Every structure is written in C-alpha cells, then in structure tokens.
Amino acid sequence: RAVVPFHGEHQAGIVTPSQRAAQFVALDVAAPGRDGLEATLRTLTERARTLAAATPAPSAGPGAPPSDDGILGAEASGGADSLTITLSVGVSLFDDRFGLADRRPARLRVMDTFPDDNLDRAICDGDLLVQVCADERDTVLHAVRELLRATRGDLVVRWRQDGFLPPARPGGAPRNLLGFKDGTANPPTAQADQMDAIVWTHAGPTPKVDDQAARAFGLTLPDDLPDAVEPAWVEGGSYHVVRTTRMYVEFWDRVTLDEQEQMIGRRRDSGAPLTGAHEDDVPDFASDPTGDAIKLDAHIRLAGPRTPGAEAMRMLRRPFSYDNGTDPAGTLDVGLVFVCFVQDLDRQFVAVQRRLTGEPLVDYISPVGGGYFFALPGVRDKDDWYASALF
C-alpha cells in the first residue's frame, strides 16, 4: 500500500489522486495564547508525519495506555494506505486570541451564505480543518483518533464529516450519488504550470483577471472583485472550500433521465457532454449558442463556460459522497461533500457559485455546512512543522 510523501513544497491531499475514504474534522483551538497554538501545531505535525509514513509510535509499556491502538488503521490494511493529512486554517484563527490578525490570507472569511443555502452554523467553519484521506476507511478513522488523542485538551472538535468514493474503475471519473460521473472536467493535476495558475496561492497582489473574459463569464469588475494583497507566508498554500451539500435523492430518483441529463448537461451513462459522444469530449457551447443540446442553465454550462480567458476561474474539485443515515422524517440524509482548492477564493469558487444560483439542480441539492479554509504550505522536511511560515 502506497506511502504518499508527507514533506514537500505543497501539502499532500490536494493534487494527490482522490483516495476512497475521507474525513473532514473542523477543530477549535483551546490551547491558550500563541505559544499554546504553536505547541499544538508542532504536535499535530509530528503525529501526522509518523502516521503518513505508517511508522508505529513507540510502545509506552503495559502500565500505560497503548501508544497506538495497533489494531485499526495502517496495521490492519498493511501499510500507509495512501494516507494524506491536510491541515487548513479558518478565519477565526486570526482573531485576537493568537496575535495573528495581520497574517490573515487576504480572501479568508466566514463562509458566505448563498441564496440556495440552508446552512446550519453548528456544522460550519472552525479554527482549523483537518482533511484525512486514505484508501480504507479504518485507516482514516485510525489517523483521526490518533491526531485527536495527541492534541486532547488543546483542540476541540467542532464538526466532523465522513466521505467516500466508489472503487476506482478504468475509464473516467467516479459517480456521485446523483448517479453522474463527477470530476470529468477537472484540470490536469500532473501539469505543474496549470496547478500553479489554478491551485497554489502566491504572495503579493492577487492576479488580475482579463476584464472581457470576466464579463463573458458573468463577473462584473472591479466592484465584484476588489484587488487584494496576499501575505508572504501563503506561498504554496491554497484556499480550501468545503460545502457539505445534501442531496434529495428520493426526489431525484423520480426525475426522467432526459431531464436529469439536461440539468447536468452530460449523459448519465457515459459522462459525455450532450454535444459529444465520449466522456473526455469538450462541451461545444460555441456551436450551440441557444442551448438546443446543452441548456443555457445546465450545470456544466454555468460552472465551466469554455469562453476564452475563463480559465482564470477554473478550480480543482476533490469531492466525496457522504451518508449520514436518515433524518427524523425517514428520508435519506446523503449528499456530496463538495471540496475545491483554488488560488483565489473569490475569482474562482465564489464567481462560479454565484453563477450557479437558481440552476435547476438546486431543487435537488442543499448546502448545509462546511467552510472556507486556507490549506497551509507544505511541511518541507523533518525539522519543519505546519504553519512554521505563519509564525
């Protein structure tokens, strides 16, 4: 089972191919003051480093609790299991508790409420977000337990959300719980120049957007998108958006195939755009300007118009399905943990999310939780620690 390198310029778990299991754990910091926060982040780093390498913690002997549960996780699945632990910070970390106010990533804020949202603030935001992913669910839970054990008293769980994906199959993106392939039009993670332009945040003034391309995409500049200057430490990190989005699958399952495909703009079976035959065919909006094949309000036309220059609004999506059981009415409480990584929260995620307001799909989905976070730059080597650049 694969070991995903923990050290590097960027954190693992962002451009890493999606594993099958995930947990998102939002935490509030109880440790007092800046020193307390630093010590907690150093402890988290040490524990994450050994977990990612599948190195068992040394035994403390029979007179103490076992230092690692040794049954679940890496041992059971025979290795590191592609475990990645990605640490992100929320805007509340920059309030007056830790003296970090002048370090806030320029776009970071409490998650916006969009018109079709139904947010429960108890499952939104947080000082920190830990995204733990691996090929097996027990490995994920094991890592979460160990991280929480190492920081007990210093970090308090605010909310926690499980996620999963179907087994990887050759040919194409995995399906979400609406039954459609999800992830087809993602930018290529192996192309470093594209990741540099789409995913990684850079210090200094936020890159300008071509005015015409922005207008063609429905963004009005400059009022909509004020310039911002990112602090030096953010270099190599990424805005990390999580939107726990419930799906009303009982309703969806009564919708005709035609209507479902029109709402998305792709075929359910192959994932091909309605203007094409294969999943990887590029949607042809130019020769379908009135929406005969792909409706003007189809999800993919609103989320990814292929107009020249609109690349600046592309994003890297890394979603997982979720199953939270049933609600009090006996309805399935299932959906999508929508996750994306972007260089600039407003230019990319918010611009696209605004365009999706009122799309036909909103009758079947409802964002209920999540948050805006900033994924820290990578931990460089064995002497480095999460957020060393921030302090």
Give contact residues for ligand HEM (rule: CB under 6 A).
173, 176, 178, 180-185, 243, 245, 247, 264, 266, 283, 299-300, 303-304, 315, 336, 338, 349, 352-353, 356, 365
CB of 352 to ligand HEM, least distance (A): 4
Q: What is the largest distance, in Å, between two alpha-carbon atoms of the chain?
A: 74
The span from the CA of 300 to the CA of 273, in Å, is: 9
Q: Which two tokens stand for residue 230?
A: 């990112």
Burial of 166 (0-12, 13-18, 19+ CB in 10 A): exposed
CB 27 within 8 A of CB 128: yes
- Smaller CB separation from ligand HEM, 80 or 249: 249
CB of 133 to ligand HEM, least distance (A): 18
- Smaller CB separation from ligand HEM, 211 or 280: 280
CB of 300 to ligand HEM, least distance (A): 4
Residue nearest ligand HEM by beta-carbon distance: 304
CB of 248 to ligand HEM, least distance (A): 10
Q: Which two tokens stand for residue 372?
A: 């805006």
- Smaller CB separation from ligand HEM, 303 or 379: 303
Within 10 angstroms of residue 330's Cβ, the number of other Cβ atoms is: 7
- Smaller CB separation from ligand HEM, 54 or 124: 124
DSSP string across 270-315: T--BTT-SSTTSPP--TT-TT-SSS-TT-HHHHH----TTGGGG--
CB of 245 to ligand HEM, least distance (A): 4
Name the amino acid, one letter, at 209: V
352 phi-psi bin (left φ>0, alpha ψ -120 to 50, beta other): alpha
CB 236 within 8 A of CB 384: no
CB of 303 to ligand HEM, least distance (A): 3
- Smaller CB separation from ligand HEM, 138 or 311: 311
- Smaller CB separation from ligand HEM, 76 or 197: 197
CB of 340 to ligand HEM, least distance (A): 6
Sign (positive/negative) of CA torsion 135, 141, 145, 147? positive
The span from the CA of 272 to the CA of 240, in Å, is: 28
- Smaller CB separation from ligand HEM, 229 or 277: 277
Within 10 angstroms of residue 203's Cβ, the number of other Cβ atoms is: 12
CB 45 within 8 A of CB 109: no
CB of 191 to ligand HEM, least distance (A): 16
CB 10 within 8 A of CB 155: no
- Smaller CB separation from ligand HEM, 104 or 267: 267
CB of 235 to ligand HEM, least distance (A): 25
CB of 95 to ligand HEM, least distance (A): 27
Q: Which helix (H) or strand (E) holds 149?
A: helix 137-150
- Smaller CB separation from ligand HEM, 25 or 337: 337
**Closest listed residue to residue 265, CA positions, set 359, 339, 170, 357:** 359
What is the dihedral angle through the alpha carbons of 285, 286, 292, 294, rounded to the nearest 10 degrees?
A: 0
- Smaller CB separation from ligand HEM, 16 or 40: 16
- Cα angle 54, 26, 380; round to 5: 45
